[in-house]
Every structure is written in structure tokens, then in C-alpha cells.
Amino acid sequence: MTAPGSLTFGGTATCLLRLGGFTLLTDPNFLHRGQRVHLGYGLVSRRRTEPALLPDDLPPLDAVLLSHLHGDHFDRVARRWLPPDLPVVTTRHAARALRRRGSRAATGLPTWETWEATRGGETLRVTAVPGRHGPAVVHRALPPVMGSVLDLERDGRRVLRVYVTGDTLCRPWLREVRDRFPGIDVMVAHLGGTRVLGVLVTMDGRQGTDLVELIGPGVTVPVHTDDYTVFRSPLSDFVAEMAARGLTDRLRVVERGGTVALGDAPS
């Protein structure tokens, strides 16, 4: 039976999600290897990898899902490429900035609020869920971030539930995501162990596995692991930690440019 969705990995946190008849792009980052992004407060980071998805490679999109407005998630190429009428589902902070730059369809979601698209008998519902981009207090110096739960329904019946973590640390209060949205089929985990001035601001391999245990998804697809110099925890850290805790069967690694089916979780 055909899986209800798929993910094509473009690098960093850029993913092409095909969910039923809907197509979304997450966190568009199109810069090339060696180019730099600005992270604020004079901080920059150099890209180590080539993107596997570029604007000319993209099919028609229903929306862009933007976890937050940071240079490695929405870069200067993406800013020039973004069609003014393409829906962007993001934080309120990012939506205000995008509207000032000419986007006419940016929607800023408060936590637990939703955006929906319906076509035929299918509905795609995106719900903003909490995230914290760094330790308490430190996170206030970084752009607000959201995670997202994407529910695909056919004729009123849910057929796929995907949780995109955004750039968050693992915190006990994220169990509310699991409690409000039980039965998550796929978690797309933003990892990398990003450090800014020595401070951890995204999950490393250990924290990522902690979140897998907290949320209990059918499978986890790791992204955002090795593309920039501020990423300090490689994919191998997460793979090793998942193996040490007996969770390898719940791990789906996809290379840049590769595609993985969503919704075919192991029994």
C-alpha cells in the first residue's frame, strides 16, 4: 500500500514534504558550500555542504513551513525566491518580518493555533507547538521558534501525523505535544548540537534521543546535523545514541537528495 507521504531532504532543515495531495517546503536554505549566514549579534557561520534542493528543482508548493527566521533556515536566496502570494506558516515574529519584505501570505501562528488547507476529500492541518531555541533566558536573544504538528486527513479520518521539532532543546514540557497529539507517526528532528558562544541551542545526539523517548514517534528522521560550522554534534552521535537505547528500528536516515516514505512505521 502506498505510504500517505514522503520527505525529500535538501540539507540543513530544508525538506520537501509530500503529504497526500499537498506539497510543503520547510525552512528553505539554498546557500552553497562556503557561503556564510548571519546569526545575529555579529555572528556568522559557513556552510559546509551543497544543497540538494534549489528553487528551480521545486514543484508547485501549497505552502512554506518556516520554524523561525534564522539565516540557516531562511537565507538571502530564499528571500529573493519567495513568491509574494505563496502561503508561509511560521511564528508571529517571522510573519511580521516577511510581510514587511513583501510577503502577502505569511501567517503567524500562536502556540496551539492552526492553519488548514483543504482539497477534495483531503485536509492538511498545521498546528504550532512549543519550542525553545536555547536555555532559558539565552533563548530570548534568539528568534522565537515553533515546532509543528502536521495532520493529513482523508474524508475526516487522520492518515498521517508528522511532528517537525524546529530548533528546540529537549525539555520535559514538550511532553504536552505528545499528550495533545498522541500517535505521532513521524518526528522530523532538528539536531546538530548547535553551539553559539559555547552555549547549546539545538539538540545534540543525546537530547535528540531523549526527545524520541519522550514523544514516542513511530519513526524519527534526523535533519539539521552537519551543514554549518556551528553544528557540533554530527549525525553519528544520534545514530549511536539511538542504538545504545535499542531504538535503531525507529530511525530513518535520509541522505541529502534522498527521499523517505512517511507513514509506513514499523509495527
Check: CB of residue 219 under 8 Å from CB of residue 242: no
Distance between CA atoms of 110 and 128, rounded to whole angstroms?
7
Give the model confidence (pLDDT) of 156-189 as tens digits.
Answer: 999 999 999 999 999 999 999 999 999 999 999 9
- Cα torsion 165, 246, 206, 235: sign: negative
SS3 category, 205: helix
Quick one: pLDDT band at residue 139, thresholds 50, 70, 90?
Answer: low
Burial readout 164-183 (b: 16 or more C-beta within 10 A, e: otherwise): bbbbbbbbeebeebbeebee
Query: Among 168, 128, 170, 131, which residue's Cα sits nearest to residue 149?
Result: 128
Percent of the chain residues topping a pLDDT of 90: 89
Report the pLDDT value the prediction gives residue 267, as an integer from 0 to 100.
37
Q: What is the pTM of this model?
A: 0.96
Q: What class is the 5-250 domain?
A: alpha beta
From CA 262, how far away is CA 93, in angstroms rounded?
A: 30
Q: Where are the domains of the chain?
A: 5-250
42: pLDDT strictly greater than 70: no
DSSP letters of 88-151?
A: EEE-HHHHHHHHHTT-SSEEEPPTT-EEEEEETTEEEEEEEE---SSSTTGGGGS----EEEEE
